[in-house]
Structure 1
Amino acid sequence: MDRTLATTMRILCTFVGGLGHLAPLLPLARAARAAGHEVAIAGSGGLVPRIEEAGFRAYGTSPQPHHAGVPASRDLTPLEVTDARAAEVEFAANFADRGARRMAAAVPAVIEDFRPDLVLRDETDLGSTIAAELRDVPVATHLVLASGLLVRPELVGPVLDVVRAEHGLDPDPTLARLTSGLVLSDFPASFRSPDSPLPVRPTHYRSGPAPERTGRAAGRPGVYVTLGTIFNKTSGDLFERLLAGLADVEADVVVTLGRELDPADVGPQPRHVRVERFVPQAEVLPEVDLVVSHGGSGSLMAALAHGLPSVLVPLGADQPHNALRAGELGVATALCAATATADDVADGVRTALADAAMAARCRVVADEMRGQPGLDSAVSALEGAV
């Protein structure tokens, strides 16, 4: 394939997982398209309609129901939280084995059809790196794991090498192939842990407009509560415990359950607590002083972009690692999602709201993010990666 950059490039964005993996790619995909490049997106079959709604050619790499986000009731089974080590083991099993095998099998045909000049993969999509290597297409990586602590070569390497061997590729025990090309990140550089087992030097950029810090009018503080788009449905009675605690806090509270869940399921709430399926974060974050979340990279970074501290209740995936790093930086506190009582929630929220030093540290991170170059710089980096 001719690697010479002409007037336009063909960029194939790939992701594995749900909306939390697709959404971070979309601003960059839109910016590349606006710059005149042709962009297609390959990922979970259930999200093909979302990709097409965004105006991109879509390639499903799994059956259509996969990650479709179909309406589902909450699982109220008593919560078992996945700690950091268990999350690392689970990542190797889910992403280095099943996910990588699926993408390594599906993406070569996509590459043959779309003929990209560059593959831009979501960080957790390990199989598309194999597919691109087989077709001799350069790869760029977009980070989605803010703290950089989840992917462990000693766990991921042996599992991923089995998939590589199935495709006739040599072992890559240090995972060098995953970080050898351009790495893009819209996270603040300060948040990535110095203990990250994968050394990378990301090109940092800002994926959206820098939020203006106008300052809220004096009065009752505001609190926003979210458990994301995946873990919200498997969080046991955590919503009920969070709501019970916030019922006793002098604050205006907005709780989003997720598009598939019904606010009626959590029962009536006090007048100062508003429960919705979905509210755009761009609308709610400028109006609050604190975020209570599971600590997913997207939710936590959105809070920090607005200079907001967080109370975290990590449930699994990258969340325990993010909570650890946020605690080290003093921009969040954490509660045990499995055992926190309503009183624990109320105490944690009141303490965080009163912590002026934490709020100041969050504003410093917001300023760091605000100072990162915009999307045009990331598109230019992509253009230089072929």
Structure 2
Amino acid sequence: MADGSASPRRVLLATAGSRGDVEPFLSLAAALRDAGHAVLVAAPDDQDDAGDDVDVVTLGVSFAGLAEALAGGGMRAFREHIRPAMSTVLARVVDEAMRWQPDVIVAHPKLLTVPVVAEHLGIPYLSVELTPVVTPTGEFPAAGVVNRSLGPWVNRLTYRAADLGARMFASDIRAARRRLGRSGEGHLPSPSGSLVAVSPTLLPRPADWPSTTHLTGDWPRRPRPDAGTDGAIREFLADDAPFVYAGFGSMRGGDAAGRAEAIIEGVRRAGLRTLVATGWGGLQPPDRCLGTDVLVVTSVPHATVLPHAAAAIHHGGAGTVHAAARAGTPSVLVPFLADQPFWARLLRRSGLAGPALHRDRLSVDGVHAAISDALDRAPAVHHVAGEIRAEDGPAAASAIVAAVAAGESAS
């Protein structure tokens, strides 16, 4: 493992997606800055509070807006919204890299033009896996591709799904090459390695991963003194009566009102209060179920709120899974899509959570039973929390980035 002692470097961190895709990069940026490196983060428009004195430039697209546009789904939404938005992002990341002239790029796999500009600048780049989707293993399938193990050989094949993006946006990759005066065709350089921002406490390292794949631990945002100081939240937390947090982040769709009502009434039946984060629209509590035991907000800082919660009902995104586990807060998983069923299965196999609930079939009885089950798992979750809190994913990743930028081995 690199010791992070390399001389200062210029690092471009590039990501695209919702809050869960961006906040880990901001955390890594802070760690790199603390190590003396010059850091720039290229991210979507939705980040209104980078914090930590991190320099952020926009990639020109709001993913919150895209989520709303995609509510109707279908190929029309892809053609009219996703394709042009991603074309903008793929072009802008090239522009920012050329302007910044970094020594190394650390990028989300969605940013398919990063290999093009890295090749042009003659610099290395690292891919980031916020959930296991890029590095093949026979131990489990790529998160979000299939929902059960299909055996070692087939499991490894599922990681080829990541190649679909390169084919879908091949014209954008060719355009980036032509803009840089390079041939529009040809093999793109491979990354110098992959940073898997996942806790080894939750996901032990697969035995068949190569040495260039680094399981660093997750990259949580640092708690800020002023985080969660909204008056209503502060007052809610000051009350000693126990509560359940419920929030689905950037998820949306289905009967958001019925879903919220089932959760609130199920929590109420358990004799607990509810703190509801509506997020991008996955929960919309109707007035009829509100009361003095319910607080509804748009979002909360997980590091501030979750340690106080008796349990957390959430979608099972990688960031929220890690935040709840680090806080020692038992989870009730309600997966929607992508990698969320992967985390639900992992927590259930580990004994840290019960069976996942179906997002469109929530009932008061079901939520009540799931909360009771979660509370029984608190001792196991508290034990895991101590192990996760001892990890320092951002520092480990920062040392690897510095070593790769310096041309050293990071294994």
- State TM-score, norm by structure 2: 0.70
1:188 pairs with 2:182 = no
SS at match of 1:47: coil
Matching residue of 1:157: 163
Matching residue of 1:67: 63
Matching residue of 1:257: 278
Distance 2:19 2:254 in 1: 16
Structure 2 gaps of 5+ residues are 134-141, 146-157, 178-183, 224-239, 406-411
Deviation track 1:105-130 (CA, whole Å, cap 9, x = no partner) reads 33222211100011111354444344
Q: Following superposition of structure 1 onto structure 2, how do residues 7-156 of structure 1 map, counting pairs within 5 Å?
A: 7-44=7-44, 46-47=45-46, 49-51=48-50, 55-63=53-61, 66-67=62-63, 102-145=88-131, 149-150=143-144, 152-156=158-162
Deviation track 1:111-165 (CA, whole Å, cap 9, x = no partner) reads 1110001111135444434432343321123332268623643322244146457
1:371 pairs with 2:365 = no
Contact 1:308 1:359 in 2 (8 A): yes
Distance 1:191 1:99 in 2: 34
Matching residue of 1:231: 251
Distance 2:204 2:393 in 1: 23
Change (3 A) 1:149 1:103: same
Change (3 A) 1:292 1:330: same
Deviation track 1:28-77 (CA, whole Å, cap 9, x = no partner) reads 21222233221111122x236545x66444333234xx22569989x7x9
SS at match of 1:204: coil
Q: Following superposition of structure 1 onto structure 2, how do residues 213-292 of structure 1 map, counting pairs within 5 Å?
A: 221-228=242-249, 230-232=250-252, 236-237=256-257, 238-258=259-279, 266-292=287-313
Change (3 A) 1:314 1:102: same
1:336 pairs with 2:338 = no
Q: What is the number of residues matched between the two proteins?
A: 346
Contact 2:276 2:295 in 1 (8 A): yes
Shift of 1:188: 1.5
Change (3 A) 1:272 1:146: farther
Distance 2:343 2:243 in 1: 23
Change (3 A) 1:341 1:38: same
Distance 2:219 2:19 in 1: 20
- Structure 2 counterpart of 1:131, which letter? V
Distance 2:314 2:285 in 1: 21
- State TM-score, norm by structure 1: 0.74
Matching residue of 1:304: 325
Shift of 1:316: 1.3
- Structure 2 counterpart of 1:141, which letter? S
Query: Matched residues, percent identical?
Result: 24
Matching residue of 1:316: 337
Contact 1:25 1:122 in 2 (8 A): no
Structure 1 gaps of 5+ residues are 81-90, 211-218
Shift of 1:303: 0.5
Distance 2:283 2:379 in 1: 36
Distance 1:57 1:283 in 2: 24
Change (3 A) 1:194 1:339: farther
Change (3 A) 1:102 1:277: closer
Shift of 1:198: 7.6
